[in-house]
């Protein structure tokens, strides 16, 4: 078991190098010269060949490609993503550190909300399969997953903030600010979770061990929760883990609708300003997050499986 974990962790390294390389060349692929872009962004009035050359030296652009990459990689490992083009006094790392807590808050809260709501809903949909409850939830799920994220966000904002005037429309503050963005993300993601738990439960309920648990005369709640639900959760772990990054990309849009000062918003601003170092850092961080959340779910998955765990005994 331990060797499996070590192997998996080591296996991530080449992947990370590949990702860093990709996000590096992405910025080098843009048609215009980064130095020129940087100058435009800084609103330098007159751009001459000489100034460009100066900036190129300043940014290290005159060095060969590979050297630049290695230099950049060396800094990135120390979490130094350079300075923002728009405002050279701000470091990219500092900007990200400033907006990261907001995104984490929104992401974690939405994820927990999704889990807490989808688990019982999926469970009861499976237990009362084809009942009015199951059908109702299925209609809701169908509608929710058909609506685009930004549409749901605007609808909620219009209804709760403008029409009922109950919740703030935008910004970050107390818990009341969190409700609408989190609800938007939850609403659009919960359908996948409910469907997942429901179908996994239904599959498990038709298994032999459930039949035998019933034949042994166990109480219904024990059979359903202790046996069926635990096994369905186990088979859902991977899918849950895979959807965490999706949740993160959901925050990207939601942050912009609700003016939530998180990483997604930072990135969109950077895109408008052609602030490439920020975009580069965002791409890199998102990719790293994808890789690690996959790694962690894989490890959790195998830790919770007795068939795998026994090998370490």
What's the angle, vertex CA 97, arms to CA 92 and CA 102, rounded to 5? 125
Which region, judged by CB under 8 A, interacts with another protein, from 34-42, 86-94, 146-154, 220-228? 220-228
Q: Is 195 in the site for another protein (CB under 8 A)?
A: no
280 three-class SS: helix
Q: Is 221 in the site for another protein (CB under 8 A)?
A: no
Q: In whole angstroms, how close is the CB of 218 to another protein at the nearest point?
A: 6
Task: Identify which of residues 3 and 89 has a Cβ nearer to another protein in the complex.
Answer: 3
* Distance of alpha carbon 164 from alpha carbon 157, whole angstroms: 10
Q: Which of 164, 217, 221, 272 forms a contact with another protein (CB under 8 A)?
A: 217
Helices 92-127/230-257 angle, 10° precision: 130
Asked if 188 and 115 count as a contact pair (C-beta separation under 8 A), the reply is no
Residues 6+ apart with CB under 8 A from 127: 201, 224
Q: Which of 86, 99, 200, 231 forms a contact with another protein (CB under 8 A)?
A: 231
Q: What share of the chain is helix, strand, coil (3-state, %, to 5)?
A: 80, 0, 20
Report the C-alpha dihedral over residues 84, 90, 93, 94, rounded to 10 degrees: -150
Q: Is 200 in the site for another protein (CB under 8 A)?
A: no
DSSP state of 274: T
Q: In whole angstroms, how close is the CB of 202 to another protein at the nearest point?
A: 12
Q: Is 135 in the site for another protein (CB under 8 A)?
A: no
Task: Identify which of residues 149 and 224 has a Cβ nearer to another protein in the complex.
Answer: 224
* Distance of alpha carbon 32 from alpha carbon 26, whole angstroms: 12
Task: Identify which of residues 142 and 212 has a Cβ nearer to another protein in the complex.
Answer: 212
Task: Identify which of residues 75 and 219 has a Cβ nearer to another protein in the complex.
Answer: 219
**Binding positions for another protein, 1-20, rule CB under 8 A:** 1, 3-4
Q: Which of 234, 288, 289, 292 forms a contact with another protein (CB under 8 A)?
A: 234
Retrieve residue 236's tokens. Answer: 């859902």
Q: Is 209 in the site for another protein (CB under 8 A)?
A: yes
Q: In whole angstroms, how close is the CB of 302 to another protein at the nearest point?
A: 7
Q: Which of 6, 17, 97, 222 forms a contact with another protein (CB under 8 A)?
A: 222
Task: Identify which of residues 6 and 53 has a Cβ nearer to another protein in the complex.
Answer: 6
Asked if 253 and 149 count as a contact pair (C-beta separation under 8 A), the reply is yes
Q: Is 216 in the site for another protein (CB under 8 A)?
A: yes
Q: Is 198 in the site for another protein (CB under 8 A)?
A: no
DSSP state of 87: -
91 three-class SS: strand
- Give the H/E segment covering residue 119: helix 92-127
Question: For another protein, how many residues bind (rule: CB under 8 A)?
Answer: 30
* Distance of alpha carbon 295 from alpha carbon 11, whole angstroms: 10
Beta bridge partners of 83: 91
Binding track over 80-119 against another protein, x by CB under 8 A: ----------------------------------------
Query: Could you list the residues that contact another protein (CB under 8 A)?
Result: 1, 3-4, 130, 207-209, 211-220, 222, 226-227, 230-231, 234, 302, 304, 306-308, 310-311
């Amino acid at each position: 078991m331990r060797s499996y974990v070590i192997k998996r962790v080591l296996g991530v390294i080449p992947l990370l190098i590949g990702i860093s390389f990709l996000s590096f060349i992405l910025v080098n692929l843009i048609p215009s010269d980064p130095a020129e872009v940087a100058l435009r962004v800084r609103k330098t009035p007159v751009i001459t060949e000489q100034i460009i050359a100066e900036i190129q030296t300043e940014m290290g652009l005159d060095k060969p490609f590979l050297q630049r990459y290695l230099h950049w990689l060396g800094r990135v490992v120390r979490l130094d993503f350079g300075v923002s083009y728009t405002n050279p006094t701000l470091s990219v790392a500092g900007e990200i550190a400033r907006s990261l807590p907001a995104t984490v808050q929104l992401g974690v809260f939405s994820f927990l909300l999704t889990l807490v709501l989808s688990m019982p809903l999926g469970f009861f949909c499976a237990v009362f399969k084809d009942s009015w409850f199951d059908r109702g939830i299925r209609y809701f799920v169908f509608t929710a997953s058909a609506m685009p994220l930004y549409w749901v966000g605007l609808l909620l904002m219009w209804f709760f903030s403008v029409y009922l005037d109950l919740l703030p429309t935008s910004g970050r503050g107390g818990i009341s600010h969190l409700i609408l963005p989190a609800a938007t993300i939850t609403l659009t993601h919960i359908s996948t979770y409910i469907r997942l738990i429901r179908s996994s439960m239904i599959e498990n309920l038709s298994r032999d061990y459930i039949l035998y648990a019933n034949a042994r005369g166990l109480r219904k709640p024990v059979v359903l929760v202790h046996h069926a639900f635990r096994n369905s959760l186990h088979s859902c772990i991977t899918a849950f883990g895979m959807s965490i990054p999706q949740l993160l990309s959901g925050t990207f849009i939601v942050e912009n609708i609700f003016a939530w000062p998180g990483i997604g918003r930072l990135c969109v601003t950077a895109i408008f300003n052609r602030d490439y170092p920020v975009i580069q850092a965002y791409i890199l961080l998102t990719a790293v997050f994808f890789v690690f959340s996959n790694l962690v779910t894989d490890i959790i998955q195998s830790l919770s499986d007795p068939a795998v765990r026994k090998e370490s005994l």
